[in-house]
């Protein structure tokens, strides 16, 4: 446990001593606020139009019409920003020549990878916590349903954990941070949009493809439902890419 704690503290300290975490956090919160403002502005406009026309057939709902679109937008923002956090996790160790030292330390690969992953995950948790101001603001002036908001945040946190695991793996493959970041972005985008091909696939293929879609598994969370299959999917995806990272380190040790 001690090696894990050492790596975790070291990585977290480095992240927040550099500009990386602060810039990523600032951009994420700015974009989250921007999207929240626009979605809420559209909600108010539609509410006003409905009240003016007297058409109350399809009443608007703060959870469905504000928070769900916001969580969907945040999933796209984190796809772009999280590779900025993960691209240096192991790639920089390679570039600075400390990667070989890391491999020779008697701490084991698992605590090293787990510590770096946990530090990035904690940073992501801080970023996500900053957006809690949005539902709190809604609760001050209205009465949104808390259940779907809480589960939606849980789903988004798990999705971010999967992106971080993907980024950690690609960071272990190269000493070029840009290559690691772009590769992580490409892989994350693939798993995010793979569900778009479902309407054009046969019934069996559609069912299989949708099981790999990150967005498909987020849907139940945003509806206020925690499905064990969706939680398992995110955890297994994260564990799979962390396993690949360990294998990558093992391969590097043999080569050195």
Mean model confidence pLDDT for the chain: 86
Cα(8)–Cα(107) distance, integer angstroms: 13
pLDDT of residue 30 exceeding 90, the answer is yes
Average pLDDT score over residue span 209-237: 90
pLDDT tens figures, 60-73: 778 888 888 898 88
Give the tens place of pLDDT for each residue, 142-162.
Answer: 788 888 899 999 999 999 999
DSSP 32-74: HHHHHHHHHHHHHHHHHHHHHHT--SS---HIIIIIHHHHHHH
Greatest Cα pair distance, the chain, in angstroms, is 74
Q: How far is CA 123 from CA 18, 118, 153, 206, 210, in A?
A: 13, 9, 15, 35, 29
Q: Give the global pTM.
A: 0.88
> What CA–CA distance (Å, rounded) separates 216 from 96?
40
Band the pLDDT of 104: cuts 50, 70, 90: low
Q: For the chain, give the number of residues.
A: 256
Q: H/E element holding 95? A: helix 91-96
Say which residue the tokens 């941070």 belong to.
177
Nearest partner of 181 among 79, 103, 94, judged by Cα: 79
């Amino acid at each position: 446990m001690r090696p894990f704690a050492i790596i975790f503290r070291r990585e977290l300290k480095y992240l927040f001593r550099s500009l990386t975490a602060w810039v990523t956090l600032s951009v994420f919160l700015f974009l989250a606020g921007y999207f929240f403002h626009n979605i809420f502005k559209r909600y108010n406009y539609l509410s006003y139009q409905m009240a003016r026309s007297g058409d109350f057939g399809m009443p608007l709902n703060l959870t469905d019409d504000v928070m769900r679109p916001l969580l969907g937008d945040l999933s796209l923002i984190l796809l772009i920003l999280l590779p900025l956090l993960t691209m240096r996790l192991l790639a920089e160790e390679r570039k600075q020549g400390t990667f070989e030292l890391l491999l020779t330390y008697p701490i084991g690969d698992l605590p090293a990878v787990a510590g770096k992953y946990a530090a990035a995950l904690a940073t992501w948790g801080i970023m996500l916590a900053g957006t809690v101001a949005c539902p709190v603001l809604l609760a001050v002036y209205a009465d949104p349903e808390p259940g779907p908001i809480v589960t939606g945040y849980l789903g988004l946190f798990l999705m971010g954990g999967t992106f971080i695991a993907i980024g950690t793996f690609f960071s272990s493959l190269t000493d070029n941070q840009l290559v690691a970041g772009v590769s992580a972005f490409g892989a994350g985008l693939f798993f995010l949009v793979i569900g778009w091909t479902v309407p054009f696939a046969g019934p069996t293929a559609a069912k299989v493809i949708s099981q790999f879609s990150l967005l498909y598994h987020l849907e139940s969370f945003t509806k206020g439902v925690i499905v064990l299959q969706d939680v398992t999917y995110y955890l297994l995806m994260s564990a799979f890419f962390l396993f690949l990272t360990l294998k990558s380190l093992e391969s590097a040790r043999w080569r050195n």
